[in-house]
Copies of this chain bind each other. A is one copy, B any other.
Amino acid sequence: MPNDKAPVTGEVQFRVRYAETDQMKVVYHANYLIWCEMGRTDLIRRLGTSYADIERQGIALAVIDASLRYHAAAKYEDMIRVRTTLVDAKSRSVTFEYTIENAETGARLVSARTTLASINGEGKLVAMPSELRRSLENAVA
């Protein structure tokens, strides 16, 4: 029987901004969460939708859990690559994993995982629209 699952990987590349450094002369640790968001935005766009469209349907995906392990530091002007995979999709939540690397050297900088919950305009947990849910489930790695 054919497997109709199509694991999808988000992948974005960009240079470190000066504003992202701190006086330790490396990227400030909170910024990696912003980069994770860029990765999952890209993954969602590859699924044929966009996170902006999801919000226009009255649904927001809010981060409810995040964890990061920092292996090595990114520096100003480094070219960064974020690879994002979907590891779990339920009716009300979805979990992504991220590998953040130096795109030139391949060195792994950060591994991270976030879980997001589907909420409505009042901040209440709600089931995702079925089309979105199906498209996320099919993309689970």
| Contact in complex: B22, A22 (CB < 8 Å) | yes
> How far is A6 from B55 in the complex, measured between Cα atoms in Å?
44
> Please, which residue of chain B has its CB at the minimum distance from the CB of A67?
B67
| Contact in complex: A77, B64 (CB < 8 Å) | no
State how many residues of chain A have any CB contact under 8 Å with chain B. 39
> Please, which residue of chain B has its CB at the minimum distance from the CB of A65?
B69
> Please, which residue of chain B has its CB at the minimum distance from the CB of A112?
B66
| Contact in complex: B18, A73 (CB < 8 Å) | no
Q: Is A103 an interface residue (CB 8 A)?
A: no
| Contact in complex: B41, A77 (CB < 8 Å) | yes
Q: How far is the CB of A21 from chain B (nearest CB, A)?
A: 4
Which residues of the other chain, B, contact A77 by a CB distance below 8 angstroms? 41, 50-52
Q: How far is the CB of A94 from chain B (nearest CB, A)?
A: 15
> How far is A66 from B76 in the complex, measured between Cα atoms in Å?
22
> How far is A76 from B22 in the complex, measured between Cα atoms in Å?
10
